[in-house]
Amino acid sequence: MTAARRTTGSHLIFIASQPRTGSTLLQVLLSAHPEVISPNEIWLMLPLIAPLKPDFTMAEYDVALARSAIRFFMENSLGDTAAYDEAIRRAALYLYDAALERTDSTYLVDKTPRYYHILPELRRIFPDATIITLYRNPCAVLCSIIYTWDVEEKWHLLGQYRHDLFQAPELITGANNDNISDFVYYYEALLQDKTSISAVFHYLGLEMIEDLRVKSSIHRDGFGDPKIDQNDQLVPSKIDTWQEKLDNPQVWRLVDDYLDSLGPDLLANMGYDYYQLKTILADHRPAWIWRRWTLSLEWVITHTEPADYQYKPRAVAYRISRRIRRYVGKIAYFSHRCWT
């Protein structure tokens, strides 16, 4: 590998997306090539770039104060942020290249969905890296977050994913509009034709291999989609499984509110039809009495403490309606059994 490639990062592949969009599937398909490795989710660039991002605040120390001190140092002792960019580039490349040197591979995939926060910075620091963004029907994303990460009936947890739900679509779409991404993939299309990633291999100068493995040997340790290792083949019918979750009135309400919060324009820029999705929701609309007792997405996102769901009138009303709905369902079931 030449020094120029080490400097520009042309041997690096970054994948950014909303969580639960199929980024693990894309990672597995790319790393099936013998010239490509992907060490799980790395998250390396987020803390390195954090001092340049005014909206990164999660830490045990005073992030705002640290950011001000670092920026003061860069502007007054270094003149600008260019030296810091170079320091990030060298530090990251040292680690990425050390991982590559332990293998016979040429390219490294850093699949970290929340890189959607730093797509412009990634492009600036690694101008020749390959950046891939991934979309999935946002209704399916929300349903997957609820049922994969055990949010159902623990609605206060949903507030942890507010950035994934609301910021990610705008930031990814903005980056795509600015031509920051080299490739834009859709989970639905990828699930139906995994060979569509041949464009990436061709771009990297690699030959497309005949049998792309879906099952992965990547050690995840809690990162990525654990279910990816349970299947050897893609299942296109999974595209519409999110619609089965709409039988729960609370989930239906959250998905309906989420569509409205994104709006027709943003969804169109993402490649999805707002009105078509609203039609699907209309076909699964619960009875008015059950919808009336559900929690709005805005309320759920802003109430992130478990205690809020114990004493707040709206949450108490929801719990009562859920019990009534279950009793009604049981009565209807046994009535049906008795008459048939």
Q: What is the 3-state secondary structure (H, E, C) of the chain?
A: CCHHHHHHCCCEEEEEECCCCCHHHHHHHHHCCCCEECCCCCCCHHHHHHHHCCCCCCCCCCHHHHHHHHHHHHHHHHCCCHHHHHHHHHHHHHHHHHHHHCCCCCEEEEECHHHHHHHHHHHHHCCCCEEEEEECCHHHHHHHHHHHCCCCCCHHHHHHHHHHHHHHHHHHHHHHHCCCCCEEEEHHHHHHCHHHHHHHHHHHCCCCCCCCCCCCCCCCCCCCCHHHHHCCCCCHHHHHHHHHHHHCHHHHHHHHHHHHHHHHHHHHHHCCCHHHHHHHHHHCCCCHHHHCCCCCHHHHHHCCCCCHHHHCHHHHHHHHHHHHHHHHHHHHHHHHHHHC
pLDDT computed for residue 70 by the predictor: 82
Q: Given 196, 220, 237, which residue is the final one in a domain?
A: 237
Residue 144 lies in a domain: no
Q: How far, in Å, CA of 54 to CA of 63, rounded?
A: 9
Q: Give percent of the chain above pLDDT 90.
A: 57
Residue 161 lies in a domain: no
Decide if pLDDT at 79 tops 90. Answer: no
- Pick the residue with more confidence: 3 or 17? 17
- Domain co-membership, 198 together with 251: no
Residue 175 lies in a domain: no
Model confidence pLDDT, tens digit, residues 193-226: 888 999 999 999 999 887 766 655 555 555 666 5
- Domain co-membership, 196 together with 290: no
Domain membership of residue 314 as a residue range:
239-339
- Pick the residue with more confidence: 106 or 66? 106
CATH number where 130 lies: 3.40.50.300
As for how many domains the chain has, the answer is: 2
- Domain co-membership, 205 together with 305: no
Residue 197 lies in a domain: yes
pLDDT computed for residue 295 by the predictor: 92
The band of 122, judged by pLDDT with boundaries at 50, 70 and 90, is very high
- Domain co-membership, 327 together with 197: no
pLDDT computed for residue 114 by the predictor: 95
The mean pLDDT of the chain is 86
Q: Which of 101-115, 135-149, 227-241, 314-328 has the weakest average pLDDT? A: 227-241
Residue 147 lies in a domain: no
- Domain co-membership, 229 together with 296: no
Decide if pLDDT at 118 tops 70. Answer: yes
- Domain co-membership, 205 together with 287: no
- Which pTM value belongs to this model? 0.86
- Domain co-membership, 245 together with 218: no
Model confidence pLDDT, tens digit, residues 230-283: 455 677 778 899 999 999 999 999 999 999 999 999 999 999 999 999 999 999
- Domain co-membership, 231 together with 253: no
- Domain co-membership, 28 together with 11: yes
- What does the pLDDT average to over 146-160? 91
